[in-house]
Amino acid sequence: AQSVSQHNHHVILSEAASLELGCNYSYGGTVNLFWYVQYPGQHLQLLLKYFSGDPLVKGIKGFEAEFIKSKFSFNLRKPSVQWSDTAEYFCAVNAGNQGGKLIFGQGTELSVKP
Amino acid sequence: GAGVSQSPSNKVTEKGKDVELRCDPISGHTALYWYRQSLGQGLEFLIYFQGNSAPDKSGLPSDRFSAERTGGSVSTLTIQRTQQEDSAVYLCASSSLGRSTDTQYFGPGTRLTVL
């Protein structure tokens, strides 16, 4: 069965620090990869996604993620976080042959101190 | 335009009662998904509707859970004989065509508390 692991459950950073959130998945076939974010009191929304092409994808609000197939990883990065990035971040995987069903990681709560 | 809406926003029920949760997807979206978000379990897929195809029910945790989608639009998730472990936030999402690469747009969720 497919699974997604997010190794960091809670990350606390100061503003301007760099961010990297880990995501690893287990599935040997073609995958589509997503990062969703849930800001306090708001809906889940898409940050970025990868399905083909350049393995370095850029999303909203200065976030980017790199797909490394050999490591089954899709880590999220941001060079300089802001207080407004405080949120919960979810990595998700879709196996290319299973329609739109998403398998989510456990989520990483990011707290940015002003 | 309007996003995905869900009702009620909160539901408190007693153990053993049945509950119905409603989802209105974005107009024109052919795919609709239900997920559950609970402490310790993260976000779990429950069921997925795509157009007129048979739904993918592979994530439903027991036969107490069922869902239907009427007229290709509104969906209702029904939980019969609720148990305390059913307490969670139930999220609905929709996407335009249900392709594996499509972005899913999530609603605000229904927080279910089973006493």
Amino acid at A65: A
Asked whether the beta carbons of residue A100 and residue B58 sit closer than 8 angstroms, the reply is: no
CB atoms within 10 A of CB B104: 28
pLDDT of residue A27: 85
Chain B touched by A49 (CB under 8 Å): yes
Nearest to B56 among A44, A46, A101 (CB): A101
Q: Which residues of B touch A25 (CB under 8 A)?
A: none
B48 and B35 Cβ atoms separated by less than 8 Å: no
Chain B touched by A44 (CB under 8 Å): yes
| Local confidence pLDDT in tens for the 115 residues of chain B | 589 999 999 999 999 999 999 999 999 999 999 999 998 778 999 999 998 889 999 999 999 999 999 887 999 999 999 999 999 999 999 999 888 888 999 999 999 999 9
CB atoms within 10 A of CB A82: 13
Residue corresponding to tokens 């009427």: B70
CA–CA separation, B14 vs B82, rounded Å? 7
Give A21-80 pLDDT, tens digit per residue.
Answer: 999 999 878 899 999 999 999 999 999 999 889 999 999 999 999 999 999 999 999 999
Helix (H, G, I), strand (E, B) or coil at B57: coil
Asked whether the beta carbons of residue B104 and residue A100 sit closer than 8 angstroms, the reply is: yes
- For β-strands A73-78 and A19-21, DSSP reports them as antiparallel
Where residue A108 falls (left for φ over 0; alpha for ψ -120 to 50; beta otherwise) is: beta
